[in-house]
């Protein structure tokens, strides 16, 4: 990513295509939109292009918030940059510690050699004065090695504290890279990793699992009527409600925009449909009210698509089936659940 070494003619043609698309969608050519559509024109990241297309075709369209989220996920991700910085700092610190230990080791080796020479010289000495002079030299060397040892100990103690701090920063950066800051849920990056782990487990021991994609109905209308701050509160409400109504090892992930993914390990198709219906009903029976003003926002509904893992699945194909179910639920009137059976089930 960020490799834009094209010649003048290529760059000019890509620029023309980008401006035409932005104009057609009535989007400003700011740096975020421009970079996203430049990358889209290059067609080198299918996942990025799918997220852009899904946002364009979604209820809210490609808002600047969604564009920023896609940009951060695919092109920038500041948490990944922080993680990379912490990793490089940690490696540099460890290399310095190793060099300090090597230097200290060399000093001890030289000191051991000095002691050996001292023993030989004492053995050959014939006068007390010679022995006293040799002893004075060894005492000076001993004091020097003591000072070096204390300095090395201090440096290693300090390095140990820095390493511990950097490890904590690195772990925090890794968590942040996979966490949605608005809802506190895992984000799209965390979802792909989790799905691949579950698919690997399924291929090894046939441990079935299912995916639900849930989308808030008419979310654009909510944003337009009450503003994005209220929209953010509704996203957090839905996230909390979904989390409160799953069990055990089930996971909720913010898939993007107003869309959520729920992973159900050890669950078969019929069970996943039941869970999706329970989640739909829980949201549909909730009444929303603004805490600050007491204003009644009315009801809220979600549409859900369900898919379960199959032998030939990748994370992309499994999500695509769940998304097909979600789109069908929307097309059939919203506030409903549609499951897409695995290909092996359909074939029977």
This prediction's pTM: 0.57
Buried b (16+ CB within 10 A) or exposed e, 13-37: ebeeebeeebeeeebeeeebbbbbb
Q: What kind of fold does domain 188-347 have according to CATH?
A: Alpha-Beta Plaits (3.30.70)
Instruction: Tell me the two tokens of residue 119.
Output: 């023993």
Q: What is the pLDDT of residue 320?
A: 93
Distance CA 60, CA 184 (A): 22
Using a 10 angstrom Cβ sphere, with 0-12 exposed, 13-18 middle and 19 or more buried, the burial of residue 192 is middle
E strand or H helix at 262, and its extent?
Answer: strand 259-265
Residue 5 phi/psi, 5° resolution?
-85, 65
Q: What is the pLDDT of residue 329?
A: 97
Q: Which residue has the tokens 């010679």?
A: 130
Distance CA 15, CA 35 (A): 10
Residues marked as catalytic: 258
Distance CA 159, CA 206 (A): 47
Instruction: List all residues 6 or more positions away from 173 whose beta carbon is below 8 Å from its beta carbon.
Output: 79, 80, 82, 83, 86
Give me the tens of pLDDT residue by residue for the chain, a chain 348 residues long.
445 555 667 777 888 888 888 888 988 888 788 888 888 888 877 788 888 998 998 888 899 888 888 887 776 654 455 555 555 565 565 555 555 544 554 555 554 455 555 555 545 555 656 555 655 665 666 566 556 666 655 665 665 566 566 666 656 666 666 788 889 898 887 788 889 899 999 999 888 999 999 999 999 888 888 888 889 999 999 999 999 999 989 999 998 889 999 999 999 999 999 999 999 999 999 988 877 777 778 889 999 999 999 999 999 999 999 999 999 999 999 999 999 988 776 533
Give the Cβ contact number of residue 191 at 10 Å. Answer: 22
Residue 262 — left, alpha, or beta (φ > 0 → left; ψ -120 to 50 → alpha)? beta
* 202 neighbors 209 (Cβ within 8 angstroms): yes
Q: Identify which of 265, 266, 242, 269 has the alpha carbon closest to the alpha carbon of residue 253.
A: 242
């Amino acid at each position: 990513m960020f490799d834009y070494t094209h010649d003048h003619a290529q760059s000019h043609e890509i620029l023309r295509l980008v401006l035409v698309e932005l104009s057609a969608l009535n989007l400003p050519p700011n740096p975020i939109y421009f970079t996203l559509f430049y990358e889209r024109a290059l067609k080198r990241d299918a996942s990025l292009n799918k997220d852009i297309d899904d946002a364009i075709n979604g209820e809210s369209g490609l808002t600047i918030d969604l564009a920023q989220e896609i940009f951060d996920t695919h092109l920038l991700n500041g948490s990944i940059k922080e993680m990379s910085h912490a990793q490089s700092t940690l490696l540099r610190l460890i290399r310095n510690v190793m060099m300090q230990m090597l230097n200290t080791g060399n000093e001890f080796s030289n000191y051991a050699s000095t002691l050996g020479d001292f023993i030989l010289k004492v053995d050959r000495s014939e006068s007390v004065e010679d022995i006293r002079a040799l002893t004075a030299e060894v005492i000076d060397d001993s004091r020097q090695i003591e000072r070096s040892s204390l300095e090395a100990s201090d440096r290693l103690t300090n390095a140990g504290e820095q390493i511990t701090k950097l490890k904590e920063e690195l772990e925090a950066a890794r968590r942040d890279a996979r966490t949605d800051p608005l809802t506190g849920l895992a984000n799209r990056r965390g979802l792909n990793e989790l799905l691949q782990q579950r698919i690997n487990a399924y291929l090894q021991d046939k441990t079935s699992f299912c995916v639900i994609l849930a989308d808030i109905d008419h979310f654009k209308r909510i944003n337009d009527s009450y503003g994005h701050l209220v929209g953010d509160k509704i996203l957090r409400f839905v996230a909390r409600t979904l989390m409160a109504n799953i069990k055990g090892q089930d996971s909720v992930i913010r898939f993007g925009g107003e869309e959520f993914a729920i992973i159900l390990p050890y669950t078969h198709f019929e069970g996943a449909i039941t869970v999706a219906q329970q989640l739909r009903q829980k949201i549909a029976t909730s009444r929303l009210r603004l805490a600050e003003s007491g204003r009644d926002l009315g009801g809220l509904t979600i549409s859900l698509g369900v898919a379960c893992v199959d032998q030939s699945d990748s994370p992309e194909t499994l999500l695509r089936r769940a998304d097909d179910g979600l789109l069908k639920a929307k097309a059939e009137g919203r506030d409903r659940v549609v499951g897409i059976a695995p290909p092996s089930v359909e074939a029977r």
